[in-house]
């Protein structure tokens, strides 16, 4: 073993002992990234590599959210290392999701926008393209299913109305909430978002199932779309629970044929 390898071996041992002692609480971002890379790059100076990755991607979050092909463009990182970091990112996202929402808690009622946000935000944390989910509820606003509908590009996604209606009927849902994200954007509906929401709302009316709301998510914010084209509801929306919104939407569906 040469002197350089001896130095790296001693450094790695000290880093691991330090992590075992304090759980990484005192680690800087580049040190934690360096430690992770120990396990996939046994003969590389991962300290320098961690610094380069953070510098190229802008931050530790940027590293974990980058596509593996982008990471491979950084000098010193290979496919195995890039895929390893992507797997860690996905693991962290799923851990956060499970921590915030217990899937075994079947009694949970999703009756406020905040509860929807706490459940959905982790699913959008590391995405760099748009993704659509549909949440299906029973009459008490208990979650029946959270269905990944489709993905789009960085700035566009087509909402498949037929697929959503068919899945809603198949699951015997009483109400639907749609969500999609604006990666690196604002939680503000575009004209296309409003148009697509109106189309879906009308299609669901035909089977007498209300679209309760359609939320846009960003990394740190969210906003309802339907309020944007229902200004008469905007003032009272903040004070309303989603249950009340659900009841109004259901009455509209039923009244259409009454």
Q: pLDDT digit string (tens) for 69-109?
A: 999 999 889 899 999 999 998 888 778 776 666 655 555 78
Least confident of 5-9, 150-154, 162-166: 5-9
Q: What is the pLDDT of residue 257?
A: 42
Task: Summarize the confidence of residues 19-23 as an average pLDDT.
Answer: 88
Task: Classify strands 211-217 and 175-181 as parallel, antiparallel or unpaired.
Answer: parallel
Q: What is the pLDDT of residue 3?
A: 46
The string of pLDDT tens digits covering residues 227-247 is 766 656 655 555 458 888 888
The residue written with tokens 């959905």 in the block is 120
Q: What is the pLDDT of residue 227?
A: 76
Rounded Cα gap, residues 214 and 80, in angstroms: 38
Task: Summarize the confidence of residues 118-127 as an average pLDDT.
Answer: 85
Rounded Cα gap, residues 32 and 204, in angstroms: 48
Q: What is the pLDDT of residue 239?
A: 47
CA distance to 128, 164, 169, 178, 206, per residue, from 153 (Å): 8, 19, 28, 18, 30
Classify domain 104-257 at the CATH class level: alpha beta
Task: Summarize the confidence of residues 175-198 as an average pLDDT.
Answer: 91
Tell me how far apart the terminal alpha carbons of the chain are, to the nearest angstrom.
85
Least confident of 53-62, 83-92, 95-104, 136-145: 95-104
CA neighbours closer than 13 Å in the CB half-sphere of residue 251: 6
pTM score of the predicted model: 0.65
- Per-residue confidence band for 258, with pLDDT thresholds at 50, 70 and 90: very low
Give alpha helix (H) positions in the chain.
Answer: 3-22, 29-38, 46-57, 60-65, 68-71, 79-100, 113-124, 161-170, 191-205, 231-237, 242-257
Q: What is the pLDDT of residue 85?
A: 92
Cα 141 versus chain centre, distance = 21
Average pLDDT, the chain: 84
Q: Which of 249, 192, 255 has the alpha carbon at shortest distance from 225?
A: 192
Q: What percent of the chain has pLDDT over 70?
A: 84
Provide CATH 3.40.140.10 ranges for the chain: 104-257
Longest alpha-carbon distance in the chain: 85
Q: Which two tokens stand for residue 6?
A: 């001896």
- Per-residue confidence band for 213, with pLDDT thresholds at 50, 70 and 90: very high
Q: What is the pLDDT of residue 84?
A: 93
Q: What is the pLDDT of residue 233?
A: 60
Higher pLDDT, 59 or 153: 59
DSSP single-letter state for residue 150: E
Residue 176 scores a pLDDT above 70: yes
């Amino acid at each position: 073993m040469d002197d350089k390898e001896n130095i790296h071996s001693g450094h790695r041992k000290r880093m691991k002992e330090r992590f075992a002692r304090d759980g990484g609480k005192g680690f800087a971002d580049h040190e934690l990234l360096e430690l992770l890379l120990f396990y996939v790059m046994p003969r590389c100076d991962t300290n320098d590599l961690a610094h380069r990755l953070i510098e190229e991607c802008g931050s530790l979050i940027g590293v974990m959210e980058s596509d593996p092909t982008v990471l491979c463009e950084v000098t010193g990182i290979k496919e195995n290392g890039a895929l390893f970091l992507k797997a860690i990112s996905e693991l962290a996202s799923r851990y956060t999701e499970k921590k915030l929402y217990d899937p075994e808690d079947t009694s949970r009622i999703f009756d406020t926008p905040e509860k929807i946000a706490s459940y959905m935000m982790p699913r959008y944390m590391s995405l760099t393209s748009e993704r659509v989910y549909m949440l299906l509820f029973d009459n008490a606003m208990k979650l029946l299913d959270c269905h990944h509908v489709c993905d789009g590009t960085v700035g566009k996604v087509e909402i498949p109305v037929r697929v959503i209606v068919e899945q809603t009927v198949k699951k015997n849902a009483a109400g639907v909430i749609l969500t999609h994200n604006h990666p690196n954007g604002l939680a503000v509906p575009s004209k296309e978002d409003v148009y697509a929401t109106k189309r879906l709302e009308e299609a669901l009316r035909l089977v007498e199932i209300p679209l309760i709301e359609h939320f846009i998510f960003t990394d740190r914010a969210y906003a309802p779309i339907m309020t944007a084209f229902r200004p008469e509801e905007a003032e009272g929306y903040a004070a309303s629970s989603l249950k009340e919104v659900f009841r109004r939407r259901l009455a509209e569906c039923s009244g259409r044929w009454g």
